[in-house]
Amino acid sequence: MALNSGHSLVEKFFFVRQWARHPLQFGAILPSSSTLCAALAQYVPTDEYVVELGAGTGNLTRALLDQGVPPERLIAVEIDEKCCALLRKKFPHLTVIQGDARHLCSLLPPDIVGHVGTIVSCLPFLNFSPSVRRAIVQACTHVLVSVGQIFLLTYSPISPIPSKAYGFSKKCLKFVFSNVPPASIWRYQLDPS
């Protein structure tokens, strides 16, 4: 069994090189496996705007498109310039935005803000300070619809987001032990009340 299959060897080396340059921006030394990405993508609705945070080399992006999310309703946000260039090459019909997730409100087109149904995130929240985590979650709540949701891939068995502080309910949907390292999928749902 190949480690975190779904990426070519060239893409894996590219990811490792980018990880070595910016280790705190990347959650693991290898990209998320196709098994993990498919496990998350199955929960994502295909009839609303979806924003992907931390798109990396595009394994989750591919899974979301394969699940049926239309490219015109999927926006990939990535802070790393070289990853953005790779994403634009792999997915020429997709909107790829280079930027920091803390500034999501100003990164997204104005007509999308407040109309995003789902955010999926591969961001390594546990690598970030509490203030950075708070800024990212607050930015997410500003762009989501009133009953929006966030799906988060994490290598922690516990929730990296204090959900009640932000008005979310939370649920761990799945553990994927075949990913290296093993990962969990969390869903945070905004409480409309």
More confident residue, 92 or 21: 92
What's residue 182's pLDDT? Answer: 86
Residue range 7-35, pLDDT digits in tens: 565 555 444 554 445 444 445 545 678 88
What's residue 124's pLDDT? Answer: 86
Domains and CATH numbers, the chain: 9-20+33-190 (3.40.50.150)
What's residue 12's pLDDT? Answer: 52
What's residue 29's pLDDT? Answer: 47
What's residue 193's pLDDT? Answer: 59
Q: CA 179 → CA 43, 154, 174, distances in Å?
A: 18, 11, 12
Question: Is the whole-model pTM more than 0.75?
Answer: yes
Indicate if the alpha-carbon torsion angle 145, 148, 154, 158 is positive or negative: positive
More confident residue, 160 or 109: 109
What's residue 10's pLDDT? Answer: 53
Calculate the CA dihedral of residues 140, 158, 35, 24 and round it to 10 degrees: 60
